[in-house]
Chains A and B, each alone.
Chain A
């Protein structure tokens, strides 16, 4: 429907995600992108005749963030902002001058330009390692906040529908946070955000998931095996509703519906899509969608359609009928199959039910026969309902014995008969009857089979276990469990060596997350070979399942944690108890005082909860856990604010330590920098003197100077390595400090 309207190549490789489009002279749009070698390429199709079409800007450092925006009101001229791992540059492309240059010690991972909250002044917001900073046109920091982990994406949008922009932050700790001013307002758990665009907020994750939130509710999510590299929203089909544009690492460009995620259009570009931008790039008054790939290919998609395309669409509309018929007959076919399937099963069920009526009076006799034969009691026991049946039409079975050309045959009633390979010939015709009967139950699954699934804590191995137990006589061939965020690759499969009646799956999620587990249990009889029944079960996995209640076992030494949170909750106690029930693995009744102790199997963290006069006390030494739980509880009780007192002595000590270390590293850094400056001076002198010596043809002294220059160089390299190490240690420390501070 949407055809690509133009394409050209930039002729160089582009870094993923580092592409933007801006009107640097206030009128004409240009594409700016970062190349893989630390340079910025500006492609200006509307350049003045004597200017080059492509200009380069050397940054000489790996570019890690690129943004564009007007920082002054009422002006259309836009500036380019370039972030690297150490600084932020504001650049006026038109005038070829820097507007500011700012050290950003936390690095720039991503950036966005716009206004936030009630303050309408536009600013350049950069996300670094755990920090988010906003800079005004002069390069002054006017906004600062921290978040849980390295920021991987940023977006602005009025998510809370209050008329002001909110900042949406995706970070590497699998969270999507919405900031209102500097306050965290909503937290939405999810995995590595890669890029998103406000409106409905859409998000794309590192693991190939793309989804859309309307406000704070997730509308849909879809998963593919590729990684999403670019996201944008744009009304490409002109129906007044924006579509979601996704660019994938595979080079696929997709247009999806915001409402349900269905793919409306797709195109294949040769390589990974670096970015999708929207601009009136051809300056014909029409906004276009522009896709840029890492190979430098640029493709534009237009909303409007040419005459030829319109004709093609007309013909497509004419074909819609045929397509509708196709869909309808597909649906019809599926229903027919389902009906046939059910009818076959009903038929088989009815024929067996009628037989088991005959079966009952003979039960005693058959049991005695089972004893006689003594061995393989299981299969003998299973002969019950049908052994007499074999007798009933034993002539038929005898006949069948003759035609031994196939293992499986259908008898007149349509049920399966499997000839047992090891049937002992000495039993004669009797054995045939038996084997017929036995095998009948061997392949047919008991109609009243069932499975029961349970999640429980195994105190001996300290694991959380999902167990699957079948009803007697039904054996599990394999199990597949699917759960978002629970398993390494979303799903796990268990395949016991021999069919069993009981299977355990150890669940060890990386983080506290509630999830739906979808369990497929493939069952048959002990002898089923190629046909099985599938039981499907959906279970919810409690968010804090790894915290096992330890009231039930006494042999744990419980040291009362020193840290605690106390808060007054006005809600009914029952609501809190309900929250505990839903989010922990509780299998005993809770009383009003709560008074529960939990042990985290993975980390060994102990947690106690108490409820007294509306006061909820949570004791634990891990401040992060406490924060997470209180947050979750608030969400459950729909409280937007909850006053609480906290006391975490251990955390304070840790914070102090880490602040001390930061100071230390910082001091070392300064010292090293000073030393380096000294050396730099020395180098200058040495070079000048060596060159002098060369001009004067004093080769020996020249050699000497150069030799000392070399040693100095080596020294500097060594110093540099030290500096790098120190800097990394400093960064780690800072990150830790930030994380401690950030914990609510």
Chain B
């Protein structure tokens, strides 16, 4: 990072109930004034609150969770100050209910003259309280943004989809779509000036990425993307921070509680660089930038999952802090206020503690053991794939501190381990015969060591068997209760869906299934095997492409080139089809050419790894020699160059410690699968495979596979 880092001062201003929607925004100040802004925020209890300095106005909208708050105005180019709130499957324009006929909970809404709303799959536009357009998306919709791209009277919608696309919808038709690689979880227009011609949009993804898309009346084009640097968690919300000297800074609120600020790159195509990172401690649900406190300048106002409203003010360069007294915190007036607040909080706490004690006694009379009967909280959990590391990540968050998370799974080979940065210790229970009999292939208990609301775990899976992973989430509350999160594990968990464009000309094995079934049935069967199969099959797309993140082989819904994946799909499909009583003819054609193709593709990796292993051994010995400090000129040029590159080689090896084992396992699986599809015995030939691998050459391997 360069020297333009900035730093913020945190202040917690208010508490509301748990929040799971994107339900916070700042009302604009009356035009021409610089008054502090009102914070509008809604919680899961359906309470909508408007905070202004010390005053809190409450309006109960409904007792359903508030999913989204948007600001809008009835016409274009009018100050957006009407509050639109979505709860369940209705939308309220504050104090005025709009009837929206949509069967799904409305998670997204954006107002720009017309109101664009989205449920899980359906997208609609309302104007004058009437439905005007609708569009059915192939997969879940995570975010929607209404904007005028053309001179059309009605705004277009920019849609962030679960299947890794940003789509642009005009009226009831799809205009453009842009591939993003991961589910799009947040959208933001990148230019705050209303009439600017520049239509750049920012999107954030479920795997923590950030990118830009530029849209004009003829096309949508992908701009920069943030380089994948580390495993990050989902982007929940994006805001802009006005930078007087250049393009706006981008503020990102993540699911793991990190608040990142990025400064725009020097050219429009250059990705931005991070200039600040603060850990809020719990997931950031919604955020806005404006002036909410009596501070000076802009502030970031955000709401966390447990309902804390936090303001970050300052945004000053790091160097200034310390050398120059921080005006905000050392302001005597503020100090006085703080003291008052601390005092007030203390007395509140005492009263509350007293109340809790009384309630405990009361409940103790009703239930001797203080049995928790009513579920009191919502578990916010996420399960996503980290393609870089080849593992699934699982996070749970509660509006209260966690005590422990217990795991049970009936998927053989699945293991749960601690995420490096999280404060948990997972103890795996031994695999006893009894456990295997009960299909408890994994049992483990994760204890949370610190007082945190969120915990993250790594879930290692293997291709082969599907099932469920159950997480029993226990918070630190009394009476102590527990809620279960169930996650479906598909038999091919490591296959990632990709777009057609990424597919090169490749040979495929073939498994054709014919029979009296419909396309949607076929799609349903596929979704039993793979993650990210669209729930509704788009009418015009019939090929789905997947790539195994480990072997890099491809799998198509009709054409595949990975034998391993193929035989598993065969198992599952025939099983499912026989359950339904459908007559199904499965014909598998294993193509040797495809095998050779696949091996050839893996060849550089295997070769490089073999070389690397060898070189590491050399380097370690050579380094030892060199520390003697003696003259090293007697070394052969090869060895001398190895020694020069020692650090490089070692760090390369360090970066992928299990690569060789992984590759070997992949080849083993592939070999077994191939023999299985041909109906041959595999055990006797495994020895041979191991022998070939110990002295690797592509020819020998190909010959073995194809013989």
Among the listed stretches B32-40, B167-175, B264-272, B373-381, which one makes contact with chain A, having 4 or more residues with CB under 8 Å of it?
B373-381
B540 at the interface (CB under 8 A from A): no
Cross-chain contact A56 with B369 (CB below 8 angstroms)? no
Cross-interface CB contact of A346 among B342, B366, B368, B369, cutoff 8 Å: B366
Q: Do A534 and B474 form a contact, CB below 8 Å, given A329-B345, A478-B408?
A: yes
A312 at the interface (CB under 8 A from B): yes
- Give B12 Cβ to nearest chain A Cβ, in Å: 5
A369 at the interface (CB under 8 A from B): no
Cross-chain contact A223 with B425 (CB below 8 angstroms)? yes
Interface residues of B in 472-486 (CB under 8 A from A): 472, 474, 477-484, 486
Q: 10 A-B Cβ contacts within 8 A?
A: A36-B624, A222-B449, A335-B353, A337-B477, A338-B356, A342-B359, A478-B408, A495-B435, A530-B486, A533-B482
**Which chain A residue shows the least CB distance to B11?**
A322
Cross-chain contact A322 with B329 (CB below 8 angstroms)? yes
**Which chain A residue shows the least CB distance to B326?**
A315
- Give B17 Cβ to nearest chain A Cβ, in Å: 8
Chain B residues, CB < 8 A from A35: 624, 627
A349 at the interface (CB under 8 A from B): yes
Chain B residues, CB < 8 A from A520: 404, 406, 474
**Which chain A residue shows the least CB distance to B440?**
A495
- Give A273 Cβ to nearest chain B Cβ, in Å: 17
Cross-chain contact B425 with A225 (CB below 8 angstroms)? yes
Chain B residues, CB < 8 A from A697: none
Interface residues of A in 288-322 (CB under 8 A from B): 308, 311-312, 314-315, 318-319, 321-322
- Give A403 Cβ to nearest chain B Cβ, in Å: 12
Chain A residues, CB < 8 A from B472: 477-478, 522, 532
- Give B30 Cβ to nearest chain A Cβ, in Å: 30
Cross-chain contact B367 with A447 (CB below 8 angstroms)? yes
Cross-chain contact B427 with A492 (CB below 8 angstroms)? yes
Cross-chain contact B321 with A315 (CB below 8 angstroms)? yes
Interface string of A461-485 (1 = CB under 8 A from B): 0000000000000000110101000
Chain A residues, CB < 8 A from B236: none
**Which chain B residue shows the least CB distance to A319?**
B329
Cross-chain contact A224 with B308 (CB below 8 angstroms)? no
Question: Beyond the given A318-B330, A345-B373, A532-B481, could you list 11 further A-B residue pairs with CB under 8 A, ordered by the A residue number?
Answer: A56-B628, A321-B329, A325-B12, A330-B308, A336-B352, A342-B356, A345-B372, A448-B371, A487-B427, A533-B371, A533-B372
Interface centre among A39, A322, A448 (most CB of B within 10 A): A322
Chain B residues, CB < 8 A from A208: 425
Cross-chain contact A530 with B479 (CB below 8 angstroms)? no
Cross-chain contact A326 with B10 (CB below 8 angstroms)? yes
B447 at the interface (CB under 8 A from A): yes
B608 at the interface (CB under 8 A from A): no
Among the listed stretches B147-155, B243-251, B333-341, B686-694, which one makes contact with chain A, having 4 or more residues with CB under 8 Å of it?
B333-341
B445 at the interface (CB under 8 A from A): yes
Cross-interface CB contact of A344 among B306, B374, B408, cutoff 8 Å: B374
A340 at the interface (CB under 8 A from B): yes
Chain A residues, CB < 8 A from B355: 335, 339
A490 at the interface (CB under 8 A from B): yes
Cross-chain contact A497 with B346 (CB below 8 angstroms)? no
Cross-chain contact B349 with A331 (CB below 8 angstroms)? yes
Cross-chain contact B478 with A338 (CB below 8 angstroms)? yes
- Give A21 Cβ to nearest chain B Cβ, in Å: 20
A717 at the interface (CB under 8 A from B): no
Q: 9 closest pairs, A vs B, by CB?
A: A489-B427, A491-B427, A342-B359, A311-B322, A328-B345, A335-B352, A531-B375, A534-B480, A349-B366
A353 at the interface (CB under 8 A from B): yes
Cross-chain contact A531 with B425 (CB below 8 angstroms)? no
Cross-chain contact A339 with B342 (CB below 8 angstroms)? no
Cross-interface CB contact of B15 among A319, A336, A347, A497, cutoff 8 Å: A336
- Give B339 Cβ to nearest chain A Cβ, in Å: 7
Interface string of B289-307 (1 = CB under 8 A from A): 0000000000000000011
B439 at the interface (CB under 8 A from A): yes
A488 at the interface (CB under 8 A from B): yes
A343 at the interface (CB under 8 A from B): yes
Chain B residues, CB < 8 A from A342: 356, 359-360, 362-363, 478-479
Cross-chain contact A332 with B404 (CB below 8 angstroms)? no
Chain A residues, CB < 8 A from B9: 319, 322
Cross-chain contact B477 with A338 (CB below 8 angstroms)? yes
Interface centre among B339, B373, B418, B479 (most CB of A within 10 A): B373
Cross-chain contact A308 with B322 (CB below 8 angstroms)? yes
**Which chain A residue shows the least CB distance to B629?**
A56
Cross-chain contact A341 with B338 (CB below 8 angstroms)? no
Interface residues of A in 421-448 (CB under 8 A from B): 444-448
Cα distance A70–B375 in the bound complex, in angstroms: 67
Cross-chain contact A332 with B427 (CB below 8 angstroms)? no
- Residues of B near any A CB (own CB < 8 A): 9-12, 15, 103, 306-308, 321-323, 325-326, 329-330, 335, 338-339, 341-342, 345-346, 348-349, 352-353, 355-356, 359-360, 362-363, 366-369, 371-377, 399-401, 404, 406-408, 418, 425, 427-430, 435, 438-440, 443-445, 447, 449, 472, 474, 477-484, 486, 623-624, 627-629
Cross-interface CB contact of A482 among B342, B377, B447, B480, cutoff 8 Å: B447
Cross-chain contact A339 with B359 (CB below 8 angstroms)? yes
A450 at the interface (CB under 8 A from B): yes
Interface string of A345-363 (1 = CB under 8 A from B): 1111110010000000000
A3 at the interface (CB under 8 A from B): no
Cross-chain contact B627 with A11 (CB below 8 angstroms)? yes
Cross-interface CB contact of A321 among B335, B362, B624, cutoff 8 Å: B335
- Give B41 Cβ to nearest chain A Cβ, in Å: 15
A324 at the interface (CB under 8 A from B): yes
Cross-chain contact B445 with A328 (CB below 8 angstroms)? no
A493 at the interface (CB under 8 A from B): yes
Cross-chain contact B15 with A495 (CB below 8 angstroms)? no
Chain B residues, CB < 8 A from A340: 376
Cross-interface CB contact of A326 among B12, B326, B346, B628, cutoff 8 Å: B12
Cα distance A35–B626 in the bound complex, in angstroms: 13
Cα distance A445–B367 in the bound complex, in angstroms: 11
Cα distance A393–B356 in the bound complex, in angstroms: 34
Chain A residues, CB < 8 A from B486: 530
**Which chain B residue shows the least CB distance to A324?**
B342
Cα distance A570–B110 in the bound complex, in angstroms: 85
- Give B453 Cβ to nearest chain A Cβ, in Å: 10
Cross-chain contact A534 with B363 (CB below 8 angstroms)? no
Cross-chain contact B369 with A535 (CB below 8 angstroms)? yes
Chain B residues, CB < 8 A from A315: 321-322, 325-326, 329
A536 at the interface (CB under 8 A from B): yes
Chain B residues, CB < 8 A from A325: 11-12, 338, 341-342, 345
Chain B residues, CB < 8 A from A496: 438
**Which chain A residue shows the least CB distance to B478?**
A338
Chain A residues, CB < 8 A from B401: 334
A449 at the interface (CB under 8 A from B): yes
A333 at the interface (CB under 8 A from B): yes
**Which chain B residue shows the least CB distance to A352?**
B373
Cα distance A324–B445 in the bound complex, in angstroms: 33
Q: Do A314 and B481 form a contact, CB below 8 Å, given A341-B376, A480-B404?
A: no
- Give A472 Cβ to nearest chain B Cβ, in Å: 14
Chain A residues, CB < 8 A from B479: 341-342, 345, 533
Cross-chain contact A318 with B367 (CB below 8 angstroms)? no
Cross-interface CB contact of A345 among B323, B363, B440, cutoff 8 Å: B363
Cα distance A447–B479 in the bound complex, in angstroms: 11
**Which chain B residue shows the least CB distance to A52?**
B629
- Give A191 Cβ to nearest chain B Cβ, in Å: 15
A529 at the interface (CB under 8 A from B): yes
Q: Do A445 and B359 form a contact, CB below 8 Å, given A321-B339, A493-B429?
A: no
- Give A653 Cβ to nearest chain B Cβ, in Å: 37
Cross-interface CB contact of A536 among B11, B375, B480, cutoff 8 Å: B480
**Which chain A residue shows the least CB distance to B423?**
A224
A562 at the interface (CB under 8 A from B): no
Cross-chain contact B374 with A348 (CB below 8 angstroms)? yes
- Give B194 Cβ to nearest chain A Cβ, in Å: 36
Cross-chain contact B447 with A332 (CB below 8 angstroms)? no
